[in-house]
Chain A
Amino acid sequence: MDFFKRHFFVSLFAVLGLVTVAYFGSQAASLQVFFGVVVPYLAVLIFLEGLIYRIIVWARSPVPFRIPTTAGQNKSLPWIERDLGEQLDNPATFKHLVGRMALEVLAFRSLFRNLRTELRKDPANPEGDRLIHWSYKWLWLGAIAFHYAFLVIILRHLRFFTEPVPMPFQLLEHVDGFFQFFTPAVYLSGVVLVVAAFYLMARRITNPNLRYISLAADYFPLLLILGIGISGILMRYVYKVDIIAVKELALGLATFHPVVPAGIGAIFYVHLFLVCVLFAYFPFSKLMHAPGVFLSPSRNMVSNNRWVLHVNPWNYPVKFHHYDEYEDRFREAMIEADIPVEKES
Chain B
Amino acid sequence: MKLASLLAQKKPQIVDRWIKLLYDSYPPQAAVFLKKEKDKFDNPVGYSIARGLDKIFTALVQEMETEQLLAALDEVVRIRALQDIPPSQALAFLFLLKNIVREELAEEFEKRNLAGELMELDSRIDGLVLLGFDAYTKRREKLCEIRINEVKNRVSGLLRKSGLSINSI
Please measure, in the bound complex, the distance between the C-alpha atom of A322 and the C-alpha atom of B30, giving whole angstroms. Answer: 57
- Which residue in chain B gives the minimum CB-CB distance to A131? B47
Q: Does A206 contact B (CB under 8 A)?
A: yes
Q: Contact check: which of A117, A128, A206, A208 meets B43 at CB < 8 Å?
A: A117
Of residues 202 to 218 in A, which have CB atoms within 8 Å of B's CB atoms?
Answer: 206, 208
- Which residue in chain B gives the minimum CB-CB distance to A118? B42
Of residues 279 to 315 in A, which have CB atoms within 8 Å of B's CB atoms?
Answer: none
Q: Contact check: which of B30, B34, B44 meets A206 at CB < 8 Å?
A: B34
**Cβ contacts under 8 Å, B42 to chain A:** 116-119
Please measure, in the bound complex, the distance between the C-alpha atom of A116 and the C-alpha atom of B46, giving whole angstroms. Answer: 14
Q: Does B41 contact A (CB under 8 A)?
A: yes
Of residues 164 to 222 in A, which have CB atoms within 8 Å of B's CB atoms?
Answer: 206, 208
**Cβ contacts under 8 Å, A208 to chain B:** 30, 32, 35
Cβ–Cβ contact B33 & A119, under 8 A: no
Cβ–Cβ contact A119 & B30, under 8 A: no
Please measure, in the bound complex, the distance between the C-alpha atom of A117 and the C-alpha atom of B43, giving whole angstroms. Answer: 6
Q: Does B17 contact A (CB under 8 A)?
A: no
Q: Does B50 contact A (CB under 8 A)?
A: yes
Task: Give min CB distance, A289 to chain B, whole Å.
Answer: 26
**Cβ contacts under 8 Å, B44 to chain A:** 117, 131
Contact-size category for A: 10 to 19
- Which residue in chain B gives the minimum CB-CB distance to A134? B42
Q: Does B152 contact A (CB under 8 A)?
A: no
**Cβ contacts under 8 Å, A128 to chain B:** 54
Residues of A bordering B, CB below 8 Å: 116-119, 121, 128-129, 131, 206, 208
Task: Give min CB distance, B158 to chain A, whole Å.
Answer: 16
Cβ–Cβ contact B46 & A119, under 8 A: yes
Cβ–Cβ contact B46 & A206, under 8 A: no
Please measure, in the bound complex, the distance between the C-alpha atom of A121 and the C-alpha atom of B51, giving whole angstroms. Answer: 12
Please measure, in the bound complex, the distance between the C-alpha atom of A152 and the C-alpha atom of B33, giving whole angstroms. Answer: 34
Cβ–Cβ contact B38 & A206, under 8 A: no
Task: Give min CB distance, A126 to chain B, whole Å.
Answer: 14
Please measure, in the bound complex, the distance between the C-alpha atom of A128 and the C-alpha atom of B35, giving whole angstroms. Answer: 24
Please measure, in the bound complex, the distance between the C-alpha atom of A208 and the C-alpha atom of B54, giving whole angstroms. Answer: 27
- Which residue in chain B gives the minimum CB-CB distance to A209? B30
Cβ–Cβ contact B33 & A129, under 8 A: no
- Which residue in chain B gives the minimum CB-CB distance to A119? B41
Given contacts A116-B42, A118-B38, contact A129 B32 (CB under 8 A): no
**Cβ contacts under 8 Å, B34 to chain A:** 206
Q: Contact check: which of A119, A121, A131, A206 meets B35 at CB < 8 Å?
A: A206
Can you sample 17 A-B contacts with CB below 8 Å?
A117-B42, A117-B43, A117-B44, A118-B41, A119-B41, A119-B42, A119-B46, A119-B47, A119-B50, A121-B38, A128-B54, A129-B51, A131-B41, A131-B44, A206-B33, A206-B34, A208-B35
**Cβ contacts under 8 Å, B35 to chain A:** 206, 208
Please measure, in the bound complex, the distance between the C-alpha atom of A118 and the C-alpha atom of B37, giving whole angstroms. Answer: 11
- Which residue in chain A gives the minimum CB-CB distance to B31? A208
Please measure, in the bound complex, the distance between the C-alpha atom of A31 and the C-alpha atom of B30, giving whole angstroms. Answer: 47
**Cβ contacts under 8 Å, A118 to chain B:** 38-39, 41-42
Task: Give min CB distance, A337 to chain B, whole Å.
Answer: 15
Task: Give min CB distance, B141 to chain A, whole Å.
Answer: 28
- Which residue in chain B gives the minimum CB-CB distance to A211? B30
Task: Indicate with 1 or 0, residue by residue over B16-58, a CB within 8 angstroms of chain A CB atoms.
Answer: 0000000000000010111100110111101100110010000
Task: Give min CB distance, A200 to chain B, whole Å.
Answer: 15
A118-B41, A206-B34, A206-B35 given; name 5 further pairs at CB < 8 Å.
A118-B38, A119-B50, A128-B54, A129-B47, A131-B44
**Cβ contacts under 8 Å, A131 to chain B:** 41, 44, 47
